Amino acid sequence: KNEVEQSPQNLTAQEGEFITINCSYSVGISALHWLQQHPGGGIVSLFMLSSGKKKHGRLIATINIQEKHSSLHITASHPRDSAVYICAVRPGNQFYFGTGTSLTVIP
């Protein structure tokens, strides 16, 4: 069983929709990362958070350390948001990654 579980695995949304991607983890951590990978591209770090909520543009990330759960929200989704979103946690020096959520936003 993977230390990090994401849901859903695949998500298709209409442009403008509000999107939520969930991440649950089973290890103790001090920080959780949300990463974005565009098709054929590298990985970009979106957020690093250890408590509460962070907002960057239309992206919002929340974390509940006690429940070992984090969510990534995208408001007013746009086709350029289409990518794989990956949750990663770092209990020590190593990172553990979720399998990713493949998001497709249709115009």
Partner 1 sequence: EAGVTQFPSHSVIEKGQTVTLRCDPISGHDNLYWYRRVMGKEIKFLLHFVKESKQDESGMPNNRFLAERTGGTYSTLKVQPAELEDSGVYFCASSRTTANTGELFFGEGSRLTVL
Least distance from partner 1 to the Cβ atom of residue 62, Å: 17
Least distance from partner 1 to the Cβ atom of residue 58, Å: 21
Closest CA to 103 of 25, 46, 24: 46
Positions in the binding site for partner 1 (CB under 8 A): 2, 4, 29-31, 33, 35, 41-45, 48, 50, 86, 88, 90-100
Beta strands across the sheet bearing 4-7: 4-7, 19-25, 69-74, 59-64, 52-56
Residue nearer to partner 1 on the CB measure, 17 or 82: 82
Residue nearer to partner 1 on the CB measure, 45 or 64: 45
Q: Cα(68)–Cα(23) distance, rounded to whole angstroms?
A: 8
Least distance from partner 1 to the Cβ atom of residue 17, Å: 26
